[in-house]
Amino acid sequence: MLPSLQMLEPSTAVQYVKGIGPKLAEILAAKGIHTVDDLLHYLPFRYEDRLNPRGIAELRAGEMATVIAEVRTSGLFRTRRMPIFQMTAGQGRTRLKCIWFNASYLQGKFQPGQMVALYGRVEDNRGELQLVQPQFEIIGDGEGEAEKKVADSLEIGRIVPIYESAGQGRLTSRWFRRIIHAALENLTPELPEAIPAAVRKRLSLLPPREALRRVHWPEAGESFQDLLASRTPAHIRMIFEELFFIELGLEVKRREQKVQTGIAFRLNDQVREAIKRILPFHPTGAQKRALKEIASDMEKPFPMRRLLQGDVGSGKTLVAFEAAIIAIENGYQVALMAPTEILAQQHYFSARRILEPSGYRIVLLTGSLEDDRKRETRRHIAHGNAQLVIGTHALIEQKVEFAKLGLVIVDEQHRFGVMQRSKLMRKSDKNDGGAAGVPARPAERSSAVERQGEPDVLVMTATPIPRTLALTLYGDLDISVLDEMPPGRTPIVTRRVGDERSDEVWQFVRKQVAAGHQAYVVYPVIEENEENELKAAMKMYSELSKNTFPDLRVAVLHGKMDPETKEMTMKLFQKGEISILVATTVIEVGVDVPNAAVMVIEHAERFGLAQLHQLRGRIGRGAAKSYCVLMTGGKVSEEGERRLDAMVRTNNGFEIAELDLELRGPGEFFGTRQAGLPSFQVASLIRDRDLLEVAKKEAGAVLSGPNSEISRTEIDRALWQMRTRWQKTYGLVEVG
Ligand code: ADP
Ligand code: MG
């Protein structure tokens, strides 16, 4: 080895890896590969067993197989429906036909005499076996040369890693194989180990270099099944490492919160009495449990950071009001924030109904209030006259000063997005009372009076989040779950109907209205700014109100209406003065009208699963049997079918959320607007749930562990590593 040859450090920019350079580095950057470390974390998505490639004669129909053979003939055939590319490969006298549909691009690709590695499904075509659409790689140009290469080739005679190509196919799997191989060869011998020794020992983790080598170049004896499942020791080490540092970060954040000074609310008999006096129902077991957890947080002298998770209709509002009572009875103010005006208004109405009889002063602060009113309301808040402040996130963005804020409740959290949550939390974490933000306090107060503790924060979400996601997204929060529905609910009957049967559906709606119930008709306007979509919804509304139900009271509700009209419409529907509400998805969140027992969802195939479930949650809130009709128009995709099936089959939000996560993948789970979901280099939230649990446990153990087990230096090294990784993965989110 030449002494001048530079060793690669994990932090070296990829462009300095031999064979890359600035041009290709750009392509890699688009894939998130910036450093040697990133490159080494670009894992194969599958492996091919070219150690024991199959003889053509021993192939069986139906199996996936790797075959190494010589190109004999190839050519393009035009059938009436599409061009088919055909190639025949041989081993001695045996031959195997390979076909690719619609593949004129393959013309001229193969030359007779070339050796190719083929991987694909073996199919029986009228007694003759063939490979259909196999993946292939040209290994060498003639048998002599190919044989020579076998010994030291990266392509055959071993288990071969297959990488996703990049740059529209410019950087092929083969290219990655070479580059990653070279990078591993030249990698510095001093690869830092950041996972503490005790953890490594407990889980028998491979050293980092060995894991890297074996994940890219598996040894001959490696279980193929484990490889494909990403469960070899090398995979486990790499996936665990990534999850461990994320969980460590979240755990550190949690612990830091626990040392800040908060408010220790008193929970004496007077407060308990106030709660009992006010509440209209007997709480469910789950509500009692959640309140107990919340109350116990509130009594403690550090700030609460708790997520209250419960399916639609599980009664989160009641629990939130109970928490509010504790704060108010202790002389503090409460802010309740909702994602939409409609929802804020609704909270305002129910808060007044439930809490005002006790003399609490409640105000509503939304973006649409007139400036004078806004100013006046803000003054009330600043002087401490308002005890419960309900509003939209205009509350976060505008300058609202509280006299004595004790509790912040954020409803329907997922709508705010992760980034916004962290913004909000940062604001509540700051003691500066400065520029903008909920818990900003008037400067003269915070300096003159004794330092007030940080307000408690209760976040509520109706999206049942699968536990894995909750652990990563909300890992810095404690979690309470409402897993029980209030009594007296009859399950919702869900049916799927093609829109050619809409007449029957409208007759059914008519019958329900005649029986005294109300109905929603929901039309998919996903993007309220889309003129055309809104037009279609309005057309539907005029059709229903003029032709189908001319004798009934039908109204419309959509996001582009002015706030007063929206509010009025909602009020009339709540009072039962409107029978049929034609609405867009604005009603998705939180709207509560127990007498509404029917929901017809038009073009149900266009909605996401979580959204359908949220919509359906608007009914089934009263004692009457409720019906959800999913109407479909036109062709439904296979995924659409699975969504509709799930809706008909189950009412369980957690089950639906799991399926949704599976169908859409975590990146899409919260929709594009809720960007900010952590993305992983090597881990997968769906595949690696088990390892995530282990990582969480180990992160906790490291931080609580006795010094004899884990040294301070080790913890520091792990924290340092965590911070670097965290910054990379989470970008803006601050840790500690
Ligand atoms: P969500 O969890 O979706 O916010 P809500 O808080 O809106 O649910 O509650 C749904 C409905 O259930 C409301 O009509 C509410 O008044 C009612 N409710 C809540 N708790 C109880 C209870 N313990 N017993 C009976 N009804 C309840
Ligand atoms: Mg709610």
pLDDT tens, position by position, 571-610: 899 899 999 999 987 775 556 788 999 999 999 998 888 8
Evaluate: CB of 676 within 6 angstroms of ligand 1.
no
Whether residue 153 is predicted with pLDDT greater than 50 in this model: the reply is yes
Of 101-115, 405-419, 616-630, give the lowest mean pLDDT range: 405-419
Q: In 3D, which of 20, 19, 51 has the Cα closest to residue 34?
A: 20
- Check pLDDT > 90 for residue 552: yes
Q: d(Cα 359, Cα 403) in Å, to the nearest integer?
A: 19
Q: Check residue 418 and give its pLDDT.
A: 45
CB contact set of 448 (below 8 Å; sequence gap of 6+): none
Looking at residue 440, its pLDDT comes to 35
| 636-654 tens-digit pLDDT | 888 889 999 999 999 888 7
Residue 58 per-residue DSSP state: G
Distances (CA, A) of 604 to 491, 586, 607: 20, 15, 6
pLDDT computed for residue 521 by the predictor: 95
Intra-chain end-to-end CA distance of the chain, in Å:
45
Mean pLDDT over 351-356 rounds to 90
617 DSSP assignment = T
pLDDT, one tens digit per residue, over 421-443 is 445 444 444 433 333 333 333 33
- What DSSP string runs through 586-597? GGSSS---TTEE
Q: Specify the pLDDT at position 669.
A: 47
Least confident of 22-31, 374-383, 478-487, 530-539: 530-539
Q: Indicate the range of 203-217, 337-351, 453-467 predicted with least confidence.
A: 453-467
Point out the least confidently predicted range of 218-227, 376-385, 583-592: 583-592
The pLDDT of 662-687, averaged and rounded, is: 58
Residue having the nearest C-alpha atom to atom 15 of ligand 1: 315
- Kindly write down the DSSP assignment for every residue of 385-449, as one continuous string: --SEEEEETHHHHS----SSEEEEEE-SGGGGHHHHHHHHHHHHH-----SS-TT---HHHHHHS
Given a cut of 90, whether residue 620 has pLDDT beyond it is no
How far, in Å, is the centroid of ligand 2 from the Cα of 348?
A: 12
Question: Does ligand 1 lie within 6 Å of residue 413's CB atom?
Answer: no
| Predicted confidence (pLDDT) at residue 242 exceeds the cutoff of 60 | yes
Q: Are 114 and 70 in contact (CB under 8 A)?
A: yes
Counting Cα atoms < 13 Å in the Cβ hemisphere of 343 gives 21
pLDDT score for 245 = 84
* pLDDT over 70 (residue 708): no
Among protein residues, the one with the nearest Cα to ligand 1's atom 12 is 315
Look-up of token digits 């700014």: 529
Q: Mean pLDDT lowest for which of 252-261, 286-295, 397-406?
A: 252-261
Measured CA to CA in angstroms, residue 436 lies from 239, 340, 427, 611 at distances of: 40, 20, 8, 33
Which atom number of ligand 1 is nearest to the Cα of residue 312? 3
Residue 148 has pLDDT above 80, yes or no: no
Minimal CA–CA distance to 463: which of 262, 681, 213, 654? 654
- In this prediction, residue 489 carries a pLDDT of 77
Distance CA 133, CA 734 (A): 47
Tens of pLDDT, residues 32-60: 899 999 999 999 999 988 778 889 999 99
Determine the Cα–Cα distance for residues 259 and 238; give it in Å rounded to an integer.
32
Ligand 1 binding pocket includes 653 (Cβ within 6 Å): no
Which of 307, 250, 39, 238 lies closest to 730, judged by CA?
250
Asked if 464 contacts 311 with a C-beta cutoff of 8 angstroms, the reply is yes
Confidence band for 144, pLDDT divided at 50, 70 and 90:
low
Q: Which position has the token pair 């690669």?
A: 8
Q: How far apart are CA 378 and CA 394, in angstroms?
A: 12
Ligand 1 pocket mutation pick from 282, 311, 318, 621 by most atoms within 8 angstroms of CB: 318
Q: Which ligand is nearest to the CA of 349?
A: 1
**What is the pLDDT confidence band of residue 396, given thresholds at 50, 70 and 90?**
low
Name the residue of 308, 346, 588, 621 to mutate for ligand 1: max ligand atoms within 8 A of Cβ.
621
The rounded mean pLDDT for the chain is 82
Q: How many CB atoms lie within 10 A of CB 518?
A: 24
pLDDT at 675: 35
* Mean pLDDT within 682-697: 84
Q: Are 472 and 418 in contact (CB under 8 A)?
A: no
Compute the average pLDDT of residues 696-724.
75
CA distance 724 to 39: 17
- Check residue 429 and give its pLDDT: 43
Does the structure show a pLDDT above 60 at 732?
no
With 90 as the cut, is the pLDDT of residue 261 above it? no
pLDDT digits (tens, 9 = 90+) for 484-527: 888 877 789 999 999 899 999 999 999 999 999 999 999 887 55
Segment 75-128, tens digit of pLDDT: 998 888 888 999 999 998 999 999 999 888 899 899 998 888 888 899 998 889
Percent helix, strand and coil across the chain, each to the nearest 5: 45, 20, 35
pLDDT at 665 over 70: no
Separation of alpha carbons 200 and 23, rounded Å: 39
- Whole-angstrom distance, CA of residue 364 vs CA of residue 351: 10
Nearest ligand 1 atom to alpha carbon 350: 16
Ligand 1 pocket test, candidate residues 308, 314, 317, most atoms within 8 A of CB? 317
Tell me how far apart the 2 most distant CA atoms of the chain are, in Å.
95
pLDDT band at 736 (very low <50, low <70, confident <90, very high): very low
**Mutational pocket test of ligand 1: of 281, 411, 412, 492, the residue with most ligand atoms within 8 Å of the beta carbon:** 281
Q: What's residue 441's pLDDT?
A: 35
Distance of CA 494 from the midpoint of ligand 1 (Å): 21
Token output for 201: 């020992």
CB 404 within 8 A of CB 335: no
Atom 18, ligand 1: which residue's CA is nearest?
315
- With cut-offs at 50, 70 and 90, classify the pLDDT of residue 655: confident
Q: For residue 230, what pLDDT is reported?
A: 94
Q: Read out DSSP for 245-302?
A: HHHHHHHHHHHHHHHS-B------HHHHHHHHHH-SSPPPHHHHHHHHHHHHHHHSSS
- Give Cβ neighbours of residue 344 (< 8 Å, ≥ 6 apart): 337, 338, 364, 366, 390, 391, 392
- Would you place residue 361 in the very low, low, confident or very high pLDDT band (cuts 50, 70, 90)? very high
Q: Is the torsion defined by CA of 720, 723, 727, 728 positive or negative? A: positive
Q: pLDDT-based confidence at 279, cuts 50/70/90?
A: confident
